[in-house]
């Protein structure tokens, strides 16, 4: 079954608001996490990553928070823009040799003007 | 530096035909991963390959599906005797090392079985 999942399948926000997308994972051995953005008809695009020895990492307008105690990951998007509308996936690397990233189901972010 | 190239972008096959999906990784990348995505679903891992080696095929269906990554040329995902349930988007990703850092995805091949 799914071990990486997101709390909400959809999120609707107004342009300019901050967005928070959540993800729960179940494998305590996972040591590397990535957020991907997928626009309609396109492949997933890397947004930001974080290793398990960190609890926060910031990029341009995005911040990823990692809470290993409760196995929770979040993506915060500041000043959300219409171009941010997409499906967002979290993915984990289970720190096992030869394994690939495991993806959750995704959250669809809709930004209205 | 071209990204991960997948072709064809769209592929239509009749039930029982074979589908061949190609993936050229980014230059310098020797690790290739294939994922399948059903509508409204996340990406499901299928297979992980390095040049001439299958490292992990735990996500591949036991029958009709095969993958290769030859010494020269693209990685190929082959689906024999396709059925309607094979209709999906198939994505390829590549990375320079064994998932050290991000994996770059191609635009996908959308397979439709009619």
Q: How do residues B48-70 score in pLDDT, each as one tens digit?
A: 999 899 988 989 999 999 999 99
Nearest-Cα residue of chain A relative to residue B100: A32
Q: How far apart are CA B48 and CA B65, in angstroms?
A: 13
Give phi and psi for B68, each to the nearest 5.
-150, 155
Q: How do residues A67-110 score in pLDDT, each as one tens digit?
A: 999 999 999 999 999 999 999 999 988 756 556 788 887 899 99
The mean pLDDT of B63-85, rounded to a whole number, is 96
Q: Which of A:24-83 have CB within 8 Å of B? A: 32, 34, 36, 42-46, 49
Q: In chain B, what percentage of residues exceed pLDDT 90?
A: 74
Nearest-Cα residue of chain A relative to residue B97: A98
Asked whether the predicted pLDDT for residue B74 surpasses 80, the reply is yes
Q: What is the CB-side half-sphere exposure of residue A106 using CA atoms within 13 A?
A: 21
Nearest CA among B8, B37, B26, B40 for reference residue B103: B26
Q: How do residues A9-25 score in pLDDT, each as one tens digit?
A: 899 999 999 999 999 98
Structure tokens at B95: 């990375």
Residue A29 pLDDT: 82
Q: How do residues A31-72 score in pLDDT, each as one tens digit?
A: 889 999 999 989 999 999 999 999 999 999 999 999 999 999
Asked whether the predicted pLDDT for residue A3 surpasses 80, the reply is no
Q: How many residue contacts between A and B have a Cβ separation below 8 Å?
A: 58
Asked whether the predicted pLDDT for residue B84 surpasses 60, the reply is yes
Residue A37 pLDDT: 96
| Residue A29 backbone zone (phi > 0: left; psi -120 to 50: alpha; other: beta) | alpha
């Amino acid at each position: 079954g799914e071990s990486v999942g997101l709390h909400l399948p959809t999120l609707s926000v107004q342009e300019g608001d901050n967005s928070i997308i959540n993800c729960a994972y179940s494998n305590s051995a996972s040591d590397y996490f990535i957020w991907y953005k997928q626009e309609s008809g396109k492949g997933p695009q890397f947004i930001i990553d974080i290793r398990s020895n960190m609890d926060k990492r910031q990029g341009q307008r995005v911040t990823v928070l990692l809470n290993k105690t409760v196995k929770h990951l979040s993506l915060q998007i500041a000043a959300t823009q219409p171009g941010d509308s997409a499906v967002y996936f979290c993915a984990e690397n289970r720190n096992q040799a030869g394994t690939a990233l495991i993806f959750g189901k995704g959250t669809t972010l809709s930004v209205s003007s | 530096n071209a990204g991960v190239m997948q072709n064809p972008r769209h592929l239509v096959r009749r039930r029982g035909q074979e589908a061949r999906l190609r993936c050229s990784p980014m230059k310098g990348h020797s690790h290739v991963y294939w994922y399948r995505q059903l509508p409204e679903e996340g990406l499901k891992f299928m297979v992980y390959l390095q040049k001439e080696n299958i490292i992990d095929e735990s996500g591949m269906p036991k029958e009709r599906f095969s993958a290769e990554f030859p010494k020269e040329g693209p990685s190929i995902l082959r689906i024999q005797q396709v059925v309607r349930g094979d209709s999906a988007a198939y994505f390829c990703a590549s990375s320079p090392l064994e998932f050290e850092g991000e994996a770059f995805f191609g635009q996908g091949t959308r397979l439709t079985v009619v």
